[in-house]
């Protein structure tokens, strides 16, 4: 998925606009400051929105439905989770994750909830927001181990890390990431790609110049990210353009998938001079997932 549009779950107008934004995924956000009654309203709106768009019968538009809940260190996360799961989101973003133990803790909550909500066993995925603190950035290598079966990717928030390290800049005059930010995002890409997971680039401010936003998104893709957060519907087209694979990438991904299909029980397959592992198949499928509709399919 190329574009991940973050929408405040308590903003009715933003929820309505998100449906026609063209994003590959819409992320309903419960992780921001709200009063008690406002939070309860946001949870209800999120659940209703998820349920309303579960069948995706929306003028042929198709997008994934995700929710960002409160971090495990807050008192709200479990109530957030229980409130939205009846709407069967495809996945949950978990903020401020210092290591894999938080993934294990959240994953343990899903099995009973899925059964109660009539959701297929193991269907709900998790993407942690990592590198949220100096310690979290230094511990990113912990995610290079055997991944939790629900782990779908790694994502980060540069603004949050910047606050924790008192950074005065994120990028230089050429829009290249600086210092700790460059270190963190490199680790995120390496850990994600080692496991065949998605790597999701940090969002840019809603008022970012469109041409600059597209350049930043192109840099992210060139650096190995598979998608990027959007904070406003107007950002979605530029992000989609930057992360759309070209014909050569689509063709190569299709060849990799077909090679694994033809050797269904093999752990390793060859394609030309390359020896391919299952992680290569995961990456190929991410390319096909990002391809324009119909072009990621094998010729019929």
Q: Domain-by-domain residue ranges, the chain?
A: 3-243, 247-290
Structure confidence at residue 160 (pLDDT): 97
pLDDT tier at 21 (50, 70, 90 boundaries)? very high
At residue 295, the pLDDT reads 58
- Judge whether residue 6 has pLDDT over 50: yes
Neighbouring CB atoms inside 10 A of 291's CB total 20
Residues comprising the chain, all counted: 300
| The predicted structure's pLDDT at residue 58 | 46
Q: What is the pLDDT of residue 60?
A: 55
> Could you give phi then psi for residue 269, rounded to 5 degrees?
-135, 165
Percent of the chain exceeding pLDDT 90 equals 90
**Number of neighbouring beta carbons within 10 Å of residue 80:** 22
* Closest to 107 in 3D by CA, of 132, 133, 131, 125: 125
Average pLDDT, the chain: 94
- In CATH terms, the fold of domain 3-243 is TIM Barrel (3.20.20)
Mean pLDDT of 89-108: 98
Helix axes 158-165, 179-195, angle to 10 degrees: 140
Sign (positive or negative) of CA dihedral 162, 167, 168, 174: negative
Nearest to 26 by CA among 78, 64, 57: 64
Answer left, alpha or beta for residue 96, where phi above 0 means left and psi between -120 and 50 means alpha.
left
Bigger pLDDT: 146 vs 7: 7
Q: Is the pLDDT of residue 54 over 90?
A: no
| Triad 191, 265, 122: Cα angle to 5° | 55
pTM metric for this prediction: 0.91
pLDDT at 61: 59
């Amino acid at each position: 998925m190329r574009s991940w549009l973050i929408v405040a779950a308590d903003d009715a107008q933003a929820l309505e606009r998100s449906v026609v934004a063209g994003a590959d995924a819409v992320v309903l956000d419960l992780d921001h400051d709200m009063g008690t009654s406002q939070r309860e309203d946001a949870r209800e709106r999120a659940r209703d929105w998820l349920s309303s768009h579960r069948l995706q019968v929306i003028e042929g538009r198709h997008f994934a439905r995700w929710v960002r809940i409160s971090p495990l260190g807050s008192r709200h996360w479990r109530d957030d989770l229980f409130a939205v799961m009846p709407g069967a989101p495809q996945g949950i973003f978990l903020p401020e994750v210092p290591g894999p133990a938080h993934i294990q803790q959240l994953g343990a909550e899903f099995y009973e909830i899925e059964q109660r909500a009539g959701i297929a066993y193991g269907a709900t995925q998790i993407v942690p927001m990592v590198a949220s603190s100096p310690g979290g950035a230094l511990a990113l290598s912990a995610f290079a181990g055997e991944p939790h079966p629900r782990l779908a990717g790694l994502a980060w928030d540069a603004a949050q890390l910047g606050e924790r390290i008192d950074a005065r800049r994120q990028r230089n005059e050429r829009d290249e990431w600086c210092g700790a930010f460059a270190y963190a995002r490199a680790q995120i890409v390496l850990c994600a790609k080692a496991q065949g997971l998605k790597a999701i680039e940090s969002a840019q401010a809603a008022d970012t110049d469109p041409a600059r936003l597209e350049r930043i998104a192109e840099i992210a893709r060139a650096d190995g990210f598979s998608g990027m957060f959007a904070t406003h519907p107007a950002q979605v087209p530029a992000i989609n353009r930057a992360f759309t694979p070209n014909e050569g990438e689509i063709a190569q991904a299709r060849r990799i998938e077909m090679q694994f299909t033809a050797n269904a029980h093999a752990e390793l397959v060859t394609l030309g001079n390359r020896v391919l592992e299952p992680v290569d198949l995961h990456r190929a499928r991410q390319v096909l997932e990002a391809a324009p509709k119909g072009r990621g399919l094998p010729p019929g």
